[in-house]
Amino acid sequence: MSIKINSNRCVGCGRCIEVCPGNLIKRNIEGKAFMKHEKDCWGCTACIKECVVDAIDFFLGADIGGTGSTLSIQSKGDLNIWKVKDIQGNIQEIVINKKDANKY
């Protein structure tokens, strides 16, 4: 399980580098973010929540059942919009209002 950074989208703002609790993301010579410690990701999605250009995707490794789907998140006002995209490109969305408590 880890993250994938799309360097075509990354604008090098550095927010993901700043926030990762494991200091796993670094900047390359082009000034863009890259995942230096791919196997050390905890899956907290903090970096994804920071990226305003939607350049980071989260995925499960095959060792824990991953089959190429990705998870991403965008925040719009009070809403967190989570997107799961499977390997064929089908998208499923789950919208959570930040003001709503968990039912469980």
Partner 1 sequence: MKTRIMETDVLIVGGGTAGCFAGITLGKQEDVKVLMVEKANIKRSGCLAAGVNAINAYIIEGQTMQDYINYCKKDAEGIVREDLIQNMSERFNHVTKVLEDLGLVILKDENGKYVTRGKRNIKINGENIKPILAEAVNRQKNVDVINHVNVTDFIVKDGRIQGAYGFDVNHPIFYEFHAKAVLVATGGAAGLYRPNNPGFSRHKMWYCPFNTGAGYAMGILAGAEMTTFEMRFVALRCKDTIAPVGTIAQGVGAKQCNGQGEFYGEKYGMATSQRIYGTVTENREGRGPCYLGTKGISPEQEDALYKAYLNMSPSQTLKWLETGKGPSAYNVEIEGTEPYIVGGHSACGYWVDQKRETTISGLFAAGDVAGGCPLKYVTGAMAEGEIAAEALVDYIKKVNYSPIKEKNGEKKKKEYEDYLTRGKNLLTIEQVEESMQKIMEQYAGGKSTDYRYSENCLILAEKKILKLLETLQFLAAEDMDDLLRIYEIRERLIVCRTVIAHLLARKETRWHIFAENIDYPYKSDQWLKYVNSRLEDGELKIVFRDLVTGGQVYEHKN
Nearest Cα neighbor of 89 from 57, 49, 65 is 57
Q: Residue 103 CB, nearest distance to ligand SF4 (Å)?
A: 25
Reported as type and span, the H/E element at residue 32 is: none
Nearest Cα neighbor of 66 from 53, 57, 54, 78 is 57
Does 73 help bind ligand SF4 (rule: CB under 6 A)?
Answer: no
> Contact, 6 vs 57, CB < 8 A?
yes
Angle at 46 between CA 102 and CA 3, to 5 degrees: 115
Which position among 4, 26, 28, 44 is part of the footprint of ligand SF4 (CB under 6 A)? Answer: 44
Q: Contacts with partner 1: how many residues (CB under 8 A)?
A: 45
- Which CB atom, from 3 or from 55, has the smaller least distance to partner 1? 3
Over the window 35 to 74, marking each residue x when it contacts partner 1 by CB under 8 A and - when it does not, the resulting string is -x-xxxxxxxxx-----------xxxxxxxxxx-x-x---
Which position among 4, 26, 39, 45 is part of the footprint of ligand SF4 (CB under 6 A)? Answer: 45
* Tokens representing residue 16 in the block: 């993901």
- Which CB atom, from 7 or from 97, has the smaller least distance to partner 1? 97
